[in-house]
Amino acid sequence: MIKKLVVIVLFHNIDLLDVTGPPEVFALARRENDEAANYEVLLASETLAPVTTGAGVRVVPDVTFEDLGTRRIHTLIVPGAVEIDANRHVIPVVHADVVDRVKQLTKRADRVASICVGAHILAAAGMLDGKRATTHWSTAEQLAADHPSVHVDPDPIFIRQGNVWTGAGISSCLDLTLALIAEDLGEDTALRVARQLVMYLKRPSGQSQFSVPLSRTSTNRRIEDLRHYILGNVEETLTIGKLADKANISERQLTRIFKSELGMTPHSYIESVRVEVARGHLESTDATLERVASVCGLGSVDTLVRAFRRRLDTTPTEYRLRFQIQPLERTTSEGSSGGQAAVGR
């Protein structure tokens, strides 16, 4: 029986779950479907020396890249690694030698998949040129800036473009591997594996629910002052004219600067702030949706719902059910506190 060779690329400081997650999913697939016994999952590195992951846990490679010889690779998985700079910004690690090795391996791989910031490695290897791709939301802007020929979409959990797949955040390695199994063995097998993992076969929405859209800063002092003003007065009526007057510039100039510095219109930015404030209230309080809509400046529950659907592809109630932080003594007895709102809101 010819094995389907799955190779996971190892290198220093790699994200641990990126390495261990896919083999776990493939192993569960073997429990659910005899055909999955065809998978042979190997961890490959330059040498057989243990590789230290970003979590500090050491992983022992199964083979060296040279040991693979000329074997045909069914699936090549490229995980990611990050560094954190002095400002707590996430910086993807892209080593030239890893990029070169990935270039070589992709030539004999039937399909290639990156996990999280591993997309930066695929992009550097030229695998994403002209393709739509995703990565972790925190590095999506950098991926787009470094590789203008890549059509970066920061929201999907994973994207398939022909035989190239890209996954979003670290835990998306599970979603991505489930999708690979569904392609090979059918959705029924993938669904049974998802049940074993106690997770969705397909998540109900994208990673925008987890991102912080207001983290982008501006070098323009007026815009930064307005950003602070908007956040401090989010419940008030904030018109373009009012903001332009405060900055002592024309409305047209205000709109132009917002688009140039923040990549969005003032109206869009204000809504982003209000949704972010609403998220905080939904996560940490039992306030009614009417109250949340009021304190974040969205006015009505209908407007709040529309803004959440537009920005996060979910509803306020769904968001609260998933992310509300409840006191420990209440979590096992009372369940979610979002029941006061209508279903679907």
Kindly report, residue by residue over 92-118, the tens digit of the pLDDT: 999 999 999 999 999 999 999 999 999
- Range list of H helices, the chain: 16-32, 96-106, 118-124, 140-146, 172-185, 187-197, 221-232, 240-247, 251-262, 266-284, 289-295, 301-312, 316-323, 328-331
Of 249, 243, 234, 342, the C-alpha closest to 297 is 234
Choose the weakest-confidence range: 183-197, 236-250, 270-284, 320-334: 320-334
Q: And the tokens for 64?
A: 């060296």
Tell which CATH architecture fits domain 213-340. Answer: Orthogonal Bundle (1.10)
Beta bridge partners of 81: 14
CATH 3.40.190.10 matches 4-207: no
Confidence of residue 34 (pLDDT cuts 50, 70, 90): confident
The string of pLDDT tens digits covering residues 226-242 is: 988 998 899 999 999 99
- Taking the alpha carbons of 288, 294, 295, 301 in that order, is the dihedral positive or negative? positive
Residue 172 has what pLDDT? 87
Query: Hey, where are the domains in the chain?
Result: 4-207, 213-340
Domain 4-207 identical in fold to domain 213-340: no
Of 22, 25, 33, 26, the C-alpha closest to 186 is 33
The string of pLDDT tens digits covering residues 155-174 is: 888 999 999 999 998 888 99
Q: How far is CA 14 from the centre of its chain?
A: 17
Q: What average pLDDT does the segment 202-217 reach?
A: 59
pLDDT at 341 over 70: no
pTM > 0.75? no
